[in-house]
Amino acid sequence: MAVLELKQVSKTFGSGNTEMTAVAPLDLAIDAGEFIILTGPSGSGKTTLLTMMGGLLTPTSGQVLLNGQDLGQMTEKQRSRVRFDQYGFILQSSNLIPFLTVAEQFELVDRLSKQNHDGYADQLLTALGVADEKTSLPAKLSGGQRQRVAIARALYNHPAVIFADEPTAALDSKRAFQVVQTLKSQAKEHNVAVIMVTHDDDLLAEADRVYTVVDGKIKE
């Protein structure tokens, strides 16, 4: 069974004269551990699509199913639980909390989830080559280091799916490639599906499947 399934999902913004279709109705099924890339021109609907899959934006029509459960049938509280427990997010400028050190980013997750992922943060930070930065604040890290910490953070809650929206946009091409390879190998190791938006053609070869989004329509 697919970990994430979209059935005729669409998004329209505005109404009347100003109505525009950001995402035309589409079907998509993603299996556990798959590495998917979404590419396409700016304004084509990639972020809108990712945000709907991530349960942060309600589709105009259709269903988003996570392990067969319809996100649209859940309460906002349940959806937020799904985002916290089953999803990981990596954004363009990393989503680290600016006033917490690297180690504290992970301690916060432990506190919020009332769990102690014994030693797992160290393990991930070591695998990602940023274990020496545990006491650093995000602002002290390089762009590549910040994104690698963000990847570790996204993997930390053992998510089913990681959503990454142009995670390498701020990096040079060599760093971008390293960061994506690390994200991919960690995700494969932990059987996490990844859906990554990127403009960078050099990265497409890393994906199991590539989808191009043009004017809100998707094709493989």
Ligand X SMILES: Nc1ncnc2c1ncn2[C@@H]1O[C@H](COP(=O)(O)OP(=O)(O)O)[C@@H](O)[C@H]1O
CB within 8 A of 211, min separation 6: which ones?
A: 28, 36, 37, 38, 39, 218, 219, 220
Q: Which is nearer to Mg ion, 51 or 186 (CB)?
A: 51
Min CB(116)–ligand X separation in Å: 37
Q: Which of 39, 44, 47, 198 binds Mg ion (CB under 5 A)?
A: 47
Q: Which of 13, 116, 135, 189 binds ligand X (CB under 6 A)?
A: 13
Q: Which of 4, 22, 37, 187 binds ligand X (CB under 6 A)?
A: 22
Segment near ligand X (CB under 6 A); pick from 45-53, 63-71, 141-149, 171-179? 45-53
Q: Which of 5, 34, 46, 153 binds ligand X (CB under 6 A)?
A: 46
For residues 24 and 164, give the distance between their C-alpha atoms in angstroms, rounded to a whole number: 21
Residue nearest to Mg ion as judged by C-beta position:
47
The first and second tokens of residue 103, run together, are 């180690």
Binding to Mg ion by residue 51, rule CB under 5 A? no
- Counting DSSP H helices and E strands in the chain, the numbers are 6, 10
Strands 61-66 and 69-70: antiparallel
Nearest to 60 by CA among 29, 25, 28, 27: 25
The first and second tokens of residue 204, run together, are 């497409």
- State the number of binding residues for ligand X (CB under 6 A): 9
Min CB(159)–ligand X separation in Å: 22
Binding footprint of ligand X on the chain (CB under 6 A): 13, 22, 42-48
